[in-house]
């Protein structure tokens, strides 16, 4: 029986596009969250945070398909750190609703995990090429600036 089998490189290209798209969405969502926080639009910020949590779904897919494409160990670390941050974000802000942003050691740990996870997304996006690498670095820097700026202005 004759059948068509997709070449493996088409599947890896799909995974690369998914990874890049998720990374770009994460950066853009974080930028928007920080902007809306600066303008005191907590309802919009909350909604965007829920959309941000949905980024975990394609990240889980990428994690489970990584071995199929023989990804390096750093790929697993990058995705795992972002997933860990999303889980902690979900627990603290959406499930337990803990006001942790006034406790310095928790904020420092939270920020370290945030920047480790989002920094790893630069690596995930860069798999798709130099242009995506540059774009992700620029978005990361904008996001980082807004994260510190809004923290200074709002205390959150």
pLDDT tens-digit readout, 117-156: 999 999 999 999 999 999 999 999 999 999 999 999 998 8
Given a cut of 80, is residue 97 above it in pLDDT? yes
pLDDT value for 116 = 98
pLDDT value for 156 = 80
Rounded Cα distance between 25 and 43, Å, is 19
pLDDT tens profile 50-77: 999 999 999 999 999 999 999 999 999 9
Domain-by-domain residue ranges, the chain? 8-63+73-154
CA atoms within 13 A on the CB side of 5: 4
Q: Minimal CA–CA distance to 76: which of 19, 34, 129?
A: 19
CA atoms within 13 A on the CB side of 85: 25
pLDDT value for 2 = 52
Q: Which residues contact 93 (CB under 8 A, 6 or more apart)?
A: 49
Separation of first and last alpha carbons in the chain: 62
Is 23:56 a contact under the CB 8 Å cutoff? Answer: no
Is 81:116 a contact under the CB 8 Å cutoff? Answer: yes
Q: What is the mean pLDDT of the chain?
A: 93
Given a cut of 80, is residue 32 above it in pLDDT? yes
pLDDT value for 39 = 96
């Amino acid at each position: 029986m004759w059948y068509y089998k997709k070449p493996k490189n088409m599947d890896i290209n799909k995974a690369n596009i998914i990874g890049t798209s998720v990374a770009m969405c994460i950066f853009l969502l974080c930028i928007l969250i920080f902007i809306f926080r600066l303008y005191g639009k907590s309802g919009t910020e909350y909604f965007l945070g829920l959309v941000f949590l949905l980024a975990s779904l394609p990240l889980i897919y990428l994690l489970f398909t990584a071995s199929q494409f023989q990804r390096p160990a750093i790929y697993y670390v990058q995705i795992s750190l972002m997933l860990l941050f999303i889980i902690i974000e979900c627990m603290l802000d959406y499930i337990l609703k803990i006001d942790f942003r006034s406790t310095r050691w928790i904020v420092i740990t939270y920020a370290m995990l945030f920047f480790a996870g989002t920094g790893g997304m630069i690596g995930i996006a860069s798999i798709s090429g130099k242009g995506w690498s540059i774009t992700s670095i620029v978005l990361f820097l904008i996001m980082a600036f807004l994260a510190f700026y809004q923290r200074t202005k709002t205390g959150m």
